[in-house]
Structure 1
C-alpha cells in the first residue's frame, strides 16, 4: 500500500525540476473540479507566516531545525551518509519566486534502526547556513501533544492530485492513541509511543502526498511556534476515520538533539 506521504518515482523526479523553478500545478480542469487550490481542506499561506518551512527536491517537506539542518521524515531519505543530491528551497510560499533561497545538502542522518515502522525522522545538513529565517524549535515534553495543530506543505490538495506551487496550510485536531487505534480507524497499526494522530472523524482536512517530512506545529505557552509532529503516513488523504499519522517529536527529542549536535547544528 502506498501510504507514505511522499511523492515517489517519476513525480519525485519532476519535483527536482520543480525546486529549480518549473513547478507542477493542478490542471485548469482539475482546479475547476476542486474549487480553490488548497491543502486538503486548507488555504494558501501568506508570505512570512511560516518562515521555517522547507521544500525538498525528492518530493518531501521539512522544517528548519537550525541554520544548517532540516528536520524531515526518515522515509524521505535512503540512508545515513554523505548526500549532495537534495535541493532545499526556503524563505518563500511561492516556489517560483525570485526571492527563494536554495541550498544543496551535504549529509543525511536517518534515525538509527528505522525500518519503515516508527522512528520516522531524519536530519538533512545543508551545504551552508541559512540566515535571516526563523527556525522551528521541537517539543521536548508531551505538554503540547494535544489540542489543535497547524500543518503546511506543497503537497497534493486532494488524494492523487498534483503538487502545488504555493504553500498551503490547514488546522487539524488531536486524535487520541486509543481512538486512532480503534477498529474503525487504524486497528492497532499506530505505534502509541512513536506516533501521534490528528484529523477529523468526518475527514475533509489532512496532509497528503508530497507533504511527508513537513512539520505539524502549534503555539507554546509563550505563543511561539513549536513542532510536535512530522508528517509520516495515512490511508489516502482526508478520508473519514483515517486521520493523518505523524512522528511524535517529543518522544525523539533527545535523539534528534544529539544527532543535530553531532552534525554541528
Structure 2
C-alpha cells in the first residue's frame, strides 16, 4: 500500500516552536523529525505555502513544489507564499499571492510529483538551482521545512533542518515494492534505525546538497513515505533530474 503524501491539513497549522517534514513536530526537539532549527538566511530559497506545503524558489517569481500539493493547472490566486524568514510569524516575512499553477502533465498520484506556482511579483531572495543530471543523486542530502517534527505532530513555526543519506532503489523497493517508481523517485533516510525524515507539512519542499563548486542544488522534492522516520521506511522524493527539462520548459511558459 502506497504511503501517505506529506502535505499538511491546512486547518491543522498550529505553529509550534520547531518543525520540518510533512509529518513531525515537538517543541522540545530541534526542527524536522530528528532535525535542528535553521539559522536565519541559511536556506533563503525556502518557501512556505498556505495550503500546508513547502517549496523552493526556482525563479524569483516561481516556486517549485509537489504536484499533490495543488489541484490541477490554471489561473489560481488562492495560494500565499511566505519567504525570507525562518520564523513564519516574523514581521520581516515576505508574503506573495499566486497567479497561476502548473501541475506536472500526466500526474496521477504515482510519480511525476512536481508542480510550479507563478507568483504575482518576484521575491528578492536567492533561488535554488535544480539538478540536470543524476551525478548528485548520492551521498548525504539536506532537508528542511515547517512540517511536523514527529509522526502525527503539529506544524512548526520555525524552519527545521536535517541531513539524510541516499538510499538505493533496491533498498527502497524492498520497503515499498511496486509503489515505488524508480527513475522518477529517489529515496533517502536512515533506513536501519530511522529517526530522521521529512513529515506531514514538508511536502513540496526541496531535498538538496552542495555541488563541487559549493553551491546548493535541488535533487529531490518531498513526496511521500510510510509514516515519518520509521526504521526500514525511508522518505520518498521526486527525482528532480528526471524532470529538469520538463520543469524548465513549463517555467518558461508561465
| TM-score of the pair, normalised by structure 1 | 0.90
Match of 2:49 in 1: 56
Partners of 1:118 and 1:195 within 8 A in 2? yes
| C-alpha deviation, 1:189, in angstroms | 1.8
Number of residue pairs matched by the alignment: 246
Match of 2:199 in 1: 208
Find the aligned partners of 1:111 and 1:37 in 2 and give their Cα distance: 33
CA distance 1:25–1:119, change in 2 (3 Å): same
Unaligned runs of 5+ in 1: 16-22
| C-alpha deviation, 1:2, in angstroms | 6.3
Match of 1:242 in 2: 233
SS in 1 for 2:179: coil
Cα deviation per residue 1:162-207 (whole Å; 9 max; x = unaligned)? 000000000000001011101xx11232111100000012100000
Match of 1:7 in 2: 8
Find the aligned partners of 1:254 and 1:94 in 2 and give their Cα distance: 33
Partners of 1:154 and 1:210 within 8 A in 2? yes
Find the aligned partners of 1:14 and 1:174 in 2 and give their Cα distance: 31
Find the aligned partners of 2:47 and 2:197 in 1 and give their Cα distance: 18
| C-alpha deviation, 1:91, in angstroms | 0.3
In the alignment, does 2:59 pair up with 1:70? no
Match of 1:19 in 2: none
SS in 2 for 1:251: helix
Greater relative contact order, per chain length (Cα 8 Å cut-off, separation 6+): 2
In the alignment, does 2:184 pair up with 1:191? no
In the alignment, does 2:149 pair up with 1:157? yes
Find the aligned partners of 1:262 and 1:164 in 2 and give their Cα distance: 34
Partners of 2:65 and 2:114 within 8 A in 1? yes
Partners of 2:209 and 2:219 within 8 A in 1? yes
Find the aligned partners of 2:190 and 2:219 in 1 and give their Cα distance: 18
Deviation above 3 Å: which 4+ runs of structure 1? none
Find the aligned partners of 2:236 and 2:3 in 1 and give their Cα distance: 14
Partners of 1:89 and 1:103 within 8 A in 2? yes
Which of the pair has more CA radius of gyration?
1
